[in-house]
């Protein structure tokens, strides 16, 4: 048999096992391969590195092709569009790579995998799908990624460095660096390389020990944090956010919440009953709204316009500060109680949901919280108003994101996610209602947190982190969708948060860092301290160690529903 020549079952050894070619092929076969590559480069836009192999049984119909050193394309692979691959990349037998696809170095793709960087639109139901335009966003796969056999990667996906796509995975969303994903749709199963924040947390000691040590330090310094912002010379004593800042209504409320979280009582600067009396006295009995202060701490005339951001937020912060103090508003929020269902819906529809969803969500938060104070008094307002608010939100949610509004012009999700937090906090969370699409909320938030411009440790601010921590926590009450990824993210953000505290001063609204030291928002103050302490509870609860804090928010960021709608 040895004299009979090659077996009929082994006529194409290098086409199906390309890794042998440059070690076992004859000089003649190697020269034929090089000539084939030169012909391809002469006919098409192709740039091929050293020791590349292209099977003659493959269909290479690309507009642009780049293959780095020692990369190969095996038999029956099908490549179209613009394909760029680094060194040591493999496109194994029967693999399909189509569209605008970018592979880093050492991306190994198993047989029968499809990487499809385009999609058919289907917006016109009267036109057959195959006749409708093609859309494409492209696929990017990082360095040192292992792609198993029979994997499908869909358009728009980014796969991080050192990830593993398990055999048969259908990848529809971005894959974090170092993650091992599998299933349909693919989810994180475990970690090949833990995220940097989680790894740093693990290296520096037990997470529970770190949390316990931090909250102990914060309690010891709580009096200093509050005293730093106290101005005894203003109207018999008022709080400012931080030294040198003007007096605000919000600062009085933040002080109450911080003292409740860390000390379990009202701020010691004034008796609790006196603080409650002063907050109640701020409310305009005609509108039920709370005005702002002038520079000397004197309340201005009450605003009737619900679009005034400070006045609208006072419905939340003053109401909940009073609640924490065991008191409440003296009057209903009449300005909201006057809205009938038609006016309420008109107001919702007139909000700038497209591109400015945060402001729209803040308006919803104010409406919902006003209802939270009015309803227990029996002040429901005109018939159908409550139902109109909840009904409008339920029927106008985007099922693709689980949220309201549309992304900014640059495709970012900041406005959508932050707007969702405000709108859902004041309605679904505050009234104990289930979210319409909790899985999509998780997907959207996880995609949003991949934006390093917002979530790198030195870029974080309390608003952006709170506005992802609360939606993830709220959605987790209904679903365990992508729970391992949520836990890893919460661990990373928690590790970052524990480094944001400044001894004796508290938290700045924005994380401190040498590159941002000149920004006023990095200076510690009451607002940043209150928000980060609430975030701390949410993140520790997501990772299962919240009991170590010894506190549970009772104010604006309380986890339990404040009122059940019946």
C-alpha–C-alpha distance, residues 72 and 379, integer Å: 72
Whose CA is closest to 371, among 323, 322, 416, 319?
319
- Annotated catalytic residue 120: yes
* DSSP conformation class of 427: I
8 Å CB contact between 361 and 420:
yes
Long-range contacts of the stretch 395-398 (C-beta < 8 A, 24+): 396/348, 397/436, 397/437
C-alpha–C-alpha distance, residues 421 and 327, integer Å: 26
Give whole-number Cα distances, 36 to 5, 29, 42, 47, 56, in Å.
26, 11, 10, 13, 9
Query: CA-CA-CA-CA torsion for 351, 354, 359, 362, nearest 10 degrees?
Result: 70
Q: Which two tokens stand for residue 448?
A: 């949003």
Peptide bond into 459 cis (omega under 30): no
Q: Who's near 341: CB < 8 A, 6+ residues apart?
A: 382, 383, 384, 385, 387, 388
Query: CA-CA-CA-CA torsion for 560, 564, 423, 293, nearest 10 degrees?
Result: -80
Ordered alpha helix ranges (H), 102-206: 196-203
8 Å CB contact between 511 and 460:
yes
Q: Who's near 44: CB < 8 A, 6+ residues apart?
A: 62, 63, 64, 65
Query: CA-CA-CA-CA torsion for 68, 74, 79, 85, nearest 10 degrees?
Result: -20
CB atoms near residue 528 (< 10 Å): 28
Of 76, 112, 120, 437, which residue is the catalytic one? Answer: 120
8 Å CB contact between 470 and 425:
yes
Q: Which helix (H) or strand (E) holds 27?
A: helix 27-43
Q: At what angle do helices 414-424 and 462-476 cross, to 10 degrees?
A: 60
* Residues involved in catalysis: 120
């Amino acid at each position: 048999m040895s004299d009979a020549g090659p077996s009929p079952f082994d006529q194409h050894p290098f086409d199906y096992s390309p890794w042998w070619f440059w070690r076992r092929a004859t000089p003649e076969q190697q020269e034929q391969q090089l000539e084939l590559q030169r012909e391809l480069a002469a006919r098409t836009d192709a740039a091929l590195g050293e020791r590349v192999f292209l099977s003659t049984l493959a269909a290479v119909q690309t507009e642009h092709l780049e293959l780095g050193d020692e990369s190969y394309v095996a038999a029956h692979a099908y490549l179209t569009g613009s394909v760029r691959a680094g060194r040591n990349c493999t496109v194994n037998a029967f693999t399909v790579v189509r569209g605008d696809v970018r592979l880093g170095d050492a991306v190994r793709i198993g047989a029968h995998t499809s990487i499809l960087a385009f999609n058919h639109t289907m917006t016109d139901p009267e036109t057959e799908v195959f006749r409708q335009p093609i859309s494409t966003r492209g696929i990017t796969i990082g360095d040192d990624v292992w792609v198993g056999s029979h994997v499908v990667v869909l358009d728009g996906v980014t796969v991080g460095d050192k990830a593993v796509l398990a055999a048969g995975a259908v990848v529809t969303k971005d894959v974090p660096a170092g993650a091992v994903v599998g299933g349909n749709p693919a989810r994180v199963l475990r970690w090949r390389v833990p995220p940097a924040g989680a790894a740093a947390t693990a290296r520096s000691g037990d997470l529970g020990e770190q949390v316990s040590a931090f909250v102990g330090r914060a309690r010891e310094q709580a009096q200093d944090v509050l005293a730093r912002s106290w101005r005894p010379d203003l109207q018999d004593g008022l709080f400012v956010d931080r030294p040198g800042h003007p007096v605000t209504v919000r600062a009085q409320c933040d002080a109450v919440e911080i003292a409740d979280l860390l000390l379990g009582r009202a701020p010691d600067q004034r008796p609790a009953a006196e603080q409650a009396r002063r907050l109640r006295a701020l409310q305009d009995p005609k509108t039920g709204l709370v005005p702002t202060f002038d520079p000397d701490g004197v309340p201005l005339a009450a605003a009737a316009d619900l679009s005034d951001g400070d006045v609208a937020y006072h419905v939340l912060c003053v109401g909940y500060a009073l609640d924490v103090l065991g008191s409440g508003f003296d009057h209903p929020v009449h300005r909201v109680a006057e809205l009938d269902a038609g006016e309420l819906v008109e107001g919702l529809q007139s909000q700038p949901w497209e591109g400015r969803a945060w402001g729209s969500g803040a308006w919803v938060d104010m409406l919902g919280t006003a209802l939270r104070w009015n309803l227990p008094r029996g002040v429901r307002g005109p018939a159908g108003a409550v139902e109109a608010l909840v009904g409008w939100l339920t029927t106008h949610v985007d099922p693709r994101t689980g949220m309201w509004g549309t992304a900014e012009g640059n495709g970012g999700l900041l406005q959508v996610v932050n707007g969702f937090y405000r709108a859902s906090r004041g309605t679904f969370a505050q009234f104990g209602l289930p979210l319409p699409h909790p899985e999509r909320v998780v997907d959207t938030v996880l995609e949003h947190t991949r934006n390093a411009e917002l979530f790198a440790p030195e870029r974080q601010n309390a608003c952006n982190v709170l506005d992802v921590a609360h939606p993830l926590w709220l959605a987790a009450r209904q679903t365990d969708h992508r729970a391992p990824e949520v836990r890893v993210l919460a661990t990373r953000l928690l590790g970052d948060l524990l480094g944001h505290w400044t001894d004796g001063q508290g938290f700045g609204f924005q994380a401190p860092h040498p590159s941002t030291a000149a920004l006023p928002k990095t200076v510690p103050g009451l607002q940043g301290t209150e928000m980060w302490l609430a975030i701390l509870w949410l993140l520790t609860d997501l990772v299962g160690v919240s009991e170590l804090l010894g506190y549970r928010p009772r104010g604006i960021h309380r986890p339990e529903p404040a009122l059940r709608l019946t």
